[in-house]
Chain A
Amino acid sequence: MTGPIHAPIYSQRSSLTHALRILRHLLSSLYSFSFSSALFRFNARTFAMAANALTGASISMRPLLSLRNQTPACSLISGSSSVLTSSFGQRNVYFSLRPRSIRLTVSCAAKQETVDKVCAIVKKQLALPDDSTVTGESKFTALGADSLDTVEIVMGLEEEFGISVEEDSAQSITTVQEAADLIEEIIQKKC
């Protein structure tokens, strides 16, 4: 009998439970660790993604930790049986494992890094000099963008961030900040 040989289902399942065990272990060890300058961003959806997207033994934990250099602009906290909070410069903080009600805080403005990338794309599209002032508040039209520039900017953003922007969303963005917020919203939904 010829044909592709699939890994037996039981071995797939066992790698899944194995990964889940690792994940649980990692999370419980995170409770008693301190982080010097990073904000801990834990998202219920990212948890599910990490558990599901397994091809081998490695698990990507990147979505769980924000990078050190990013300005912590917001936090999204949720939990089933415990609440995780950030700690700055504190060592050996003990996090309470008492069950508390689920608390979900909505994330606020987009990361500075996203805004900066959008600014760069806008400057490039409109051929603005590097030292020109483009900030979150900058309106595309005030910078001289016409409709063709705007759709090219949207294309540039889609390419840069690996996302797809719906037509009605594309029409609604008029400033750099709005573009950055939309990008983050789309990325969040993707996860």
Chain B
Amino acid sequence: MSSLLDKARLMMNIHCLGRNLVTASSSLHCVQLPAQKEAHFWYVLPDEIKDTNLLNQYFEILSPSEKESVFRMTGELLKKRAILARALVRTTLARYQINCQIDPKALKFKKNRYGKPEVDLQYTEDWKLPQLRFNISHTSSLIACGVTVGSPIGIDVEEKQRRLKNDVLAFARRYFSPDEIEMLTKIADPELRRLELIKLWTLKEAYVKAVGKGFSNLPFNTFTFQFGNRLKTGIHLRPHVMSKAHEITVEPPDDSKNISGNWQFVLLELYGSHYAAICIEQESTNRGKGSIPVNLMLRKTIPFVEDECIFGTDKAVVIGGLTTLLEC
């Protein structure tokens, strides 16, 4: 696949002269913006994308610094993953623009104070851009991008079969909260315990990414995930494994670092092989009144080629958190 890189470099050189506007945006199917309290979850399966021409097309819409990052990756698979991740973000966000006029290559990004990437909406005078918020996550076999309007969002995807190099409980003791360690210790089956750890990990990652203040401002062992009402009693009589009926909440809800907010969580199982956690912030007016489900729209995509609405199939199953899956 080194020819891919040579081709990519060649394409970059050619298009330095001028931007190829037409082909990029015209084959992107436009979609409606997410509503309030709604999140869109787009994902790509890298193994399905083998066409080097298509990968070149993705590479071409990247910014110079993104291209640099791709070059810095070691090995073709990592390069491909990096290209797909950035291309997914750009093409996804471009779909929401008014009349689909925006070239994905024209999107600019900036980082917040803590390094979280955001869309930079400042550069444009002509058109009014919606307040899109996004977050991405990737594994070697699935790359995802979550989008909302207005609400901070964090997502994390992990392969279910991911093996830790460390012992599961040792890892939990190092990074998780005491209640979570206790919960995991009570699970007798090591495989089930490992899966629960991965679920907790994705939820924690999604939360920290949604808050957007970095890992060190919100260490993992300072908050606990709770499912339904059971943990409020502080006593577990049997191993507590997540099921889809349970609302997922995080305790403490407010802490001294002013990370307050009504965060809602969704946990999905995709293709039976991946866990995906999504965290968005609901309006604070809902707090204390019981949670409203998160409306979620799932789409699988091969940018510029095809999109598939994931609804009513077992490709995506909600396994935690109050969620309503929407038809596209």
Binding site for B on A (CB under 8 A): 124-125, 132-133, 138-139, 142-144, 146-148, 151-152, 155-156, 158, 166-168, 170-171
Contacts and interface: CB of A to CB of B under 8 A. Distances in A.
B216 to A, nearest CB: 4
A148 B168 CA distance: 12
B232 to A, nearest CB: 27
Interface in B130-155: 138-139
A170 B165 contact: no
A148 B215 contact: no
A144 B75 contact: yes
Contact of A143 (B74, B158, B170, B174): B74
Contacts of B170: 155
A139 B78 CA distance: 13
Contacts of B171: 152, 155
A158 B173 CA distance: 14
A106 to B, nearest CB: 25
A167 B216 contact: yes
14 contacts: A125-B165, A132-B74, A133-B74, A139-B72, A143-B78, A144-B77, A146-B138, A146-B139, A147-B215, A155-B166, A156-B166, A166-B216, A171-B214, A171-B216
A182 to B, nearest CB: 13
Given A155-B171, A156-B165, A171-B214, A142 B78 contact: yes
Nearest to A124: B165
Interface of B: 72-75, 77-78, 138-139, 158, 162, 164-166, 170-171, 174-175, 201, 205, 214-216, 219
A151 B204 CA distance: 13
Contacts of A133: 74
Question: What 4 A-B pairs have minimum CB-CB distances, sorted nearest first?
Answer: A168-B216, A167-B216, A171-B216, A167-B219
Given A155-B171, A168-B216, A171-B216, A148 B74 contact: no
Contact of B78 (A138, A144, A152, A167): A144
A70 B216 CA distance: 34
Given A167-B219, A170-B216, A171-B214, A152 B74 contact: no
Which of A142, A148, A171 neighbours the largest number of chain B CB atoms within 10 Å of its CB? A148
Contacts of A167: 215-216, 219
Contacts of B215: 147, 167, 170-171
B74 A142 contact: yes
A148 B162 contact: yes
A144 B205 CA distance: 18
Nearest to B216: A168
A147 B165 CA distance: 14
A138 B129 CA distance: 38
B252 to A, nearest CB: 18
B174 A155 contact: yes
Contacts of B164: 148, 152
A168 to B, nearest CB: 4
Contacts of B139: 146
Contacts of B138: 146
Contact of A151 (B74, B75, B175, B214): B175
